[in-house]
Chains A and B, each alone.
Chain A
Amino acid sequence: AATIRTRKFMTNRLLCRKQMIVDVLHPGKATIPKTEVREKLAKMYKTTPDVIFCFGFRTKFGGGKTSGFGLIYDSLDFAKKFEPKYRLQRHGLVEIKKTGRKQRKERKNRQKKVRGTKKAKVGAGKK
């Protein structure tokens, strides 16, 4: 029963995309997940949902209305070029390797004990 309306539509030729503010009306339901929003936008703008990136959805106080931002790229190549890595990761197009926080901190502390070029060796060694 969710309705999607778009506002402030703009064609950004420099970044080869169309950007807009997306208003989702969902009275009586929880916030719609981003994947569903993408499907609906794809139907509206007659593209595939994989070039659509939406983010920043905030539900208004009291529920029923959510607004967020949506970008529709001209092609997936442009999307891969211009989108930030974390958003590509959400779609599964890029894998960001993450060493754990604890590992990073321990490596830093090991590096503190050594001076100069040996620092790099210490990190790789990981006793």
Chain B
Amino acid sequence: DHLLKKATENEYNTSKGISFLELKYQLLLSYLMNLTYISLQKSQGSSIQDDPAIDRLIEIRTVLEKMRPIDKKLKYQVDKVVRTAASGGTDSSDPLRYRANPENLISKLDDESESESEGEEKKSKIYHPPKLTAMHYEGDETEMDKDQKVLERAKKRALSTSMLRELREEFSEGPTEIRETTSTQRSRAERKLRERTHYEEENFMRFSVSKKDKNEMKRVAGLSSLNNLTHFDDISALTEGRAPQAGGSSKKRKHGGKGKKGKKGFKKKRIH
């Protein structure tokens, strides 16, 4: 009632405000008017089929929907303006001004470098590494905790070995899944080779294969894959309850075995 009197007396002048909000007011108003007209029609009992008011409603609704993300983006500006209107004017040296001040940023950097150069001379000779990223803190971990963690990890790894997987399959009651075996080594090498050939064909050039890559290709394509048949994983974490020793031994054996076999093979050929 009071509001109505004020509106009719033109106390709410929106001509100087943000035009986007002005548009929003007008749209909302017309939406309301159309809605009241429709509800009036319905309450009187007359049908609202093919009423032009409905088309108008739909149109205004879609425009309002499209305006919503813009509204969200303008939210910061609008809040600023409201705050200044409420507080009654801004200070030129207000830290929360509308725009970022790049000069402030530059001066900050200068200050930092200056203070650093001064501080170096003052500080002691102890080297403190620069704090770039957050590092894992393990100061409160005892020796026992560490051993326990290592053991847990070894147990988890042991659970996913091929031996235990086969055991599980034996005793499980679900249907067995027969899958094509894709050895990760080979698939990795294949993928790398495919990428390489693709690049070569696209760019009309040939790569020179480094010794490392040559040896890897020979290894993957050659007889060394037969050695992996008799190489079982270490599950001492589950059987004996202690973590396996440094895993370098298994890797060394692989290389040593392959070398020996190669040598023997060659020698055999020579003799025969």
Partners in one complex: yes
Inter-subunit contact B204/A61 (CB<8 Å)? no
- Are the CB atoms of B201 and A61 closer together than 8 Å? no
Q: Which residues of B contact A66 (CB under 8 A)?
A: none
Closest A residue to B221 by CB, please name it.
Answer: A61
CA of A78 to CA of B63 in the docked complex: distance in angstroms? 61
CB of B125 closer than 8 Å to a CB of A: no
B206 at the interface (CB under 8 A from A): yes
Binary CB contact string for chain B from 196 to 210 against chain A (1 if under 8 A, 0 otherwise) = 000011001110000
Do B206 and A56 touch across chains, with their CB atoms under 8 A apart?
A: yes
A10 to chain B: closest residue by CB: B204
Complexed CA–CA distance, A69 and B205 (Å): 8
Q: Would you call A8 and B206 a contact (CB within 8 A)?
A: no
The proximity string for B residues 44-73 relative to A, scoring 1 for CB distances below 8 Å and 0 otherwise, is 000000000000000000000000000000
Asked whether, in the complex, the Cβ of B221 is within 8 Å of the Cβ of A19, the reply is no
Q: How far is the CA of A120 from the CA of B221 in the complex (A)?
A: 54
Closest to A58 in B: B206
Decide if A41 is an interface residue (CB 8 Å cutoff). Answer: no
Q: Is A52 an interface residue (CB 8 A)?
A: no
Given contacts A56-B206, A58-B206, contact A8 B201 (CB under 8 A): yes
What range describes how many residues of A lie at the interface? under 10
On whether the beta carbons of B204 and A19 are closer than 8 Å, the reply is: yes
Contact with B along A1-28 (1 / 0, CB 8 A): 0000000100000000001010000000
Query: In angstroms, how far is the closest chain A Cβ from the Cβ of B156?
Result: 39
Report chain A residues within 8 Å CB of B200.
56
B-side contacts of A21, CB under 8 Å: 201
Are B204 and A69 in contact, CB atoms less than 8 angstroms apart?
yes
Q: Which residues of B contact A19 (CB under 8 A)?
A: 204
Contact flags B209-235 to A (C-beta < 8 A → 1, else 0) = 000000000000100000000000000
Which chain B residues lie closer than 8 Å to A61 at the CB level?
221
Bound-state CA distance A21–B205 (Å) is 11
- B221-A56 in contact (CB<8A): no
Give bound CA distance, A19 to B221, whole Å.
Answer: 32
Which A residues are CB-close (under 8 A) to B204? 19, 56, 69
Give the CA-CA distance A58 to B204 in the complex, in Å: 13
Chain A: minimal CB distance from B187 (Å)? 18
With most chain A CB atoms within 10 A of its CB, the pick from B200, B204, B205 is B204
- A72, chain B: closest CB distance, angstroms: 13
**Chain A residues whose CB sits within 8 angstroms of the CB of B206 once the complex forms:** 56, 58
Complex Cα spacing A72 to B178, Å: 51
Q: Which A residue's beta carbon lies closest to that of B202? A: A8
Nearest opposing residue in chain A for B205, CB measure: A56
Contact with B along A55-71 (1 / 0, CB 8 A): 01010010000000100
Query: Could you say which of A8, A19, A61, A69 has the most chain B C-beta atoms within 10 Å of its C-beta?
Result: A69
Q: B206 → chain A, closest Cβ, in Å?
A: 4
Residue on A nearest B197 in the bound complex, by CB: A67
Report the minimum CB–CB distance from B155 to chain A (whole Å). Answer: 42
Task: Give 10 A-B contacts (CB < 8 Å), ordered by A residue.
Answer: A8-B201, A19-B204, A21-B201, A56-B200, A56-B204, A56-B205, A56-B206, A58-B206, A61-B221, A69-B204
Please give 7 more A-B residue pairs, beta carbons under 8 A apart, in addition to A56-B200, A56-B204, A61-B221. A8-B201, A19-B204, A21-B201, A56-B205, A56-B206, A58-B206, A69-B204
| A-B CB proximity, top 3 nearest | A56-B206, A69-B204, A21-B201
